[in-house]
Amino acid sequence: MGKTMNPWDRPAPEREGLPSAWSLFPEELAALGCPGSALETFRRLHRPWTWKDQAPVLGPVILPWLEGVADLRLPRIVERQPSSDGSTKLALELGDGKRIEAVHMPRKVRNPRVTYCLSSQVGCAMGCTFCATGSMSILRNLQPGEILGQVLTLMADLGPNRGHELTLVFMGMGEPLHNLDHLHRAIRLLCHPAGLGLGKGRITVSTAGLVSGIEKLAAMNPRPNLALSLNATTDEARSRTMPLNRVWNLARLRQALDVWGLRRGEKFTFEYVLIAGENDTEADAERLSAWLGDLRRGHNVNVIPMNEHDASPFRQPDENRVQQFSDWLKVCGCFVTVRRSRGRDVQGACGQLVKGK
């Protein structure tokens, strides 16, 4: 029986300059000289339900070969904060000691599934004034193996046991489209049929409105779902809370959606963080509806009451205003959901994730 490996056992200097084992496709493993079947090696690496003691079983031939050509480290869980709502916020340490956060969110539905909220960067360069991650600034991009590694680490530790029970949302730390090349390589690996085999419709990428990234992602395959964090209805207000709007304003952002080219079954998600006294008036609801235009129907507007944190002066609206704003949108013909963020009691909700060194 093949022995298991501990990806953290190798001395750090030996790993420098090696590609991540978790970022290699079967053909790349083969090109590195994989003894035996590269496809089978890929399968054993990327299917946590076949692991033993939270590590792949690779055997006495593949393991030492792989240790010599690739970095076997995965992000490791160093903190966990269970929420009263059943979700868990996790701090994961990367190989260089930097930390990111992810959230594990089981969903109580007829066919139970689990949603992971994942990070794409250590910190974020967007500087949105209502978001705790933005207060960190950007430390670095995550590599493809680190992005994928979050998924494998969470699956091995907390479940679920199969890829078809999993939904991924890149709404954690970072602007995903600011790290698009690394992110998309990770998505291709996640969708590989010999690995987790996720369908592209099970992956959502959220952006603050990085138009260049939206236009590039539109032409990529596989193409995940797109969520847009909008959060204001005038350029003045949006530029005040989301500095990115000074580069790509609301009109340019709407143009990018027009040229996306929606395919059969695809829908946009529009995220609107509702902030007391900032973007919560009836006029805001009417302007939002007008901006959406023909996207009002069939595409969901997620109204998200702001999750407060110490890095922002803004406050969440009261429940009456949340309901009133949603009703105004519905009167305008919008399809609306009020999203009750999970993990608020452990600072694991939307806009609250912040880690670093």
Same domain, 96 and 226: yes
- Is 350 catalytic? The answer is yes
Coil vs helix vs strand at 131: coil
Looking at the 3D structure of the chain, how many domains does it have?
2
Same domain, 120 and 57: no
Q: Tell me how crowded residue 103 is: count the other CB atoms within 10 A of its CB.
A: 28
Domain end call among 54, 69, 84: 69
Closest CA relative to residue 51, chosen from 157, 185, 165:
157
Q: Is 38 among the domain residues?
A: yes
Same domain, 327 and 250: yes
Domain hosting 43: range is: 12-69
- Is 101 catalytic? The answer is yes
- Asked if residues 63 and 72 have their Cβ atoms less than 8 Å apart, the reply is no
Same domain, 18 and 156: no
Same domain, 119 and 268: yes
Which residue among the candidates 34, 67, 101, 191 is catalytic per the annotation? 101
Coil vs helix vs strand at 86: coil
The C-alpha angle 257, 262, 264, rounded to 5 degrees, equals 165
Q: Is 327 among the domain residues?
A: yes
Q: What is the pLDDT along the chain (357 residues), one digit of tens a residue?
A: 444 445 444 444 445 689 999 999 999 999 999 999 999 999 999 999 999 998 999 999 999 999 999 999 999 999 999 998 889 999 999 999 999 999 999 987 666 789 999 999 999 999 998 887 877 889 999 999 999 999 999 999 999 989 999 999 999 999 999 999 999 999 999 999 999 999 999 999 999 999 999 999 999 999 999 999 999 999 999 999 999 999 999 999 999 999 999 999 899 999 999 999 889 999 999 999 999 999 998 899 999 998 776 666 777 898 999 999 999 999 999 999 997 755 455 544 454 455 555
Phi, psi of 206 (to 5 degrees): -105, 135
Same domain, 149 and 281: yes
Q: Is 357 among the domain residues?
A: no
Q: Is 353 among the domain residues?
A: no
Q: Is 162 among the domain residues?
A: yes
- Asked if residues 48 and 152 have their Cβ atoms less than 8 Å apart, the reply is yes
Which residue among the candidates 34, 117, 334, 350 is catalytic per the annotation? 350
- Asked if residues 317 and 305 have their Cβ atoms less than 8 Å apart, the reply is yes
Coil vs helix vs strand at 3: coil
Same domain, 92 and 196: yes
Same domain, 91 and 228: yes
Same domain, 301 and 171: yes
Q: Is 109 among the domain residues?
A: yes
What would the two tokens of residue 21 be? 């084992």
Same domain, 27 and 171: no
Same domain, 51 and 129: no
Q: Which domain CATH number covers 242? A: 3.20.20.70
The C-alpha angle 125, 172, 24, rounded to 5 degrees, equals 90
What would the two tokens of residue 308 be? 């407060």
Q: Do the strands 138-141 and 121-123 form a parallel or antiparallel pair, or are they unpaired? A: antiparallel
Q: Is 312 among the domain residues?
A: yes
Q: Is 7 among the domain residues?
A: no
Same domain, 258 and 217: yes
